[in-house]
Amino acid sequence: MHSEPLLQIAGLNLRYGSSHVLHDISLTLGARPLTILGRNGMGKTSLCNAIIGLAPHFSGSIRLAGTELTGLTPEHRARLGIGYVPQGRRIFRSLSVEEHLTIVAQKGGDWTIERVYETFPRLKERRRNLGDRLSGGEQQMLAISRALLLNPRLLVLDEPTEGLAPAIVSDVVALVREVSQQGMAVLMVEQNLHAALAAVEDAAILVGGEIVEHMSAQALATDPAMQKRHLALELA
């Protein structure tokens, strides 16, 4: 039986000029959803960009279901099955909600515009509104829906709970759980420890561009000392 993990990263290094942003990252992602935790500036977004193809200069290997992604354009990678929910949501400000959905919607596949509207009735109400007229929570729902409509094999979320109200954070968590239970692989980069641990099953901790811990979410949730060592904000 073919048992290659969906996402396989080996020896990934990323440099911007003289700074070494990612250092020898190796990780695999299969059916169990994974969160990558770390404080600001630890290389989380750079890791996402390397997977998506927005940070082209790196050494090492990133494979999706056995296909080497190195050297492929972002559009090519998206068509291979990566859905991307970027940090800051990056909603197109001059497109309406509906247009966001119609430009990515495909025939066939689990996620359709109807299902998005059922999942997020709020988006249906606001479907004529332009992207820059939405609240942060609405934008996040739209950003996730936009990625889901590609019906990707792997969903990459970069800080999806950033700046959201607690009620909306739990909506996002519930949705991530739902899609991963339905078989979509999930990689969620987060700073919000509790949201991330509630949403996924495994956790890796990124410090200074290196993965320093890799464990189950449950183990991390019950280890306050480790949380404090790597993730707590240092207050001056």
Partner 1 sequence: MTLFFIVTLNGLTLAALYFLAATGFSLIFGLMRTVNMAHGALLLLGGYVGFSVVEATGSWGLGVIAGGLAAALAGALVQFGILGWMQGDELRQTLASIAISIIMADLMLWHWGGITYQVTLPELLSGGQRLPLLGVGYASIRLALMAFALVIGVALWFLIQKTRFGAVIRAGVDDQAMLRALGFPIKRIFISVFALGGMLAGMAGVVAASALSIAPGTDLQFLLSSLVVVIVGGMGSVGGAALGALLVGLAEQYGLAYAPTYGAVFTFAIMVLVLAVRPQGLLGRAEK
Residues of this chain that interact with partner 1 (CB under 8 A) are 52-54, 73-75, 77-79, 84, 86, 90, 92-95, 99, 102-104, 131, 146-147, 150
Q: Which is nearer to partner 1, 60 or 74 (CB)?
A: 74
Q: Report, in Å, the least distance between residue 46 CB and partner 1.
A: 14
Smallest separation (angstroms) from partner 1 to the CB of 55:
11
Smallest separation (angstroms) from partner 1 to the CB of 74: 4
For residue 129, the SS3 value is: coil
**Closer of 91 and 211 to partner 1 (Cβ):** 91
Structure tokens at 236: 């001056």
Residue closer to partner 1, measured from CB, 126 or 146: 146
Q: Sheet harboring 185-190: ordered strands across?
A: 82-85, 154-158, 185-190, 34-37, 202-207, 210-216
In whole angstroms, what is the distance from residue 211 CA to residue 203 CA? 10
From 46, 49, 38, 48, select the one nearest 206 (Cα to Cα): 38
Minimum distance from residue 73 beta carbon to partner 1 (Å): 7
Closest approach of partner 1 to the CB of residue 167, in Å: 27
Secondary structure (DSSP) of 33-89: -EEEE--TTSSHHHHHHHHHTSS--EEEEEEETTEE-TT--HHHHHHHHEEEE-TT-
Nearer to partner 1, 173 or 185 (CB): 185
Name the residue type at position 167: A
Nearer to partner 1, 28 or 151 (CB): 151
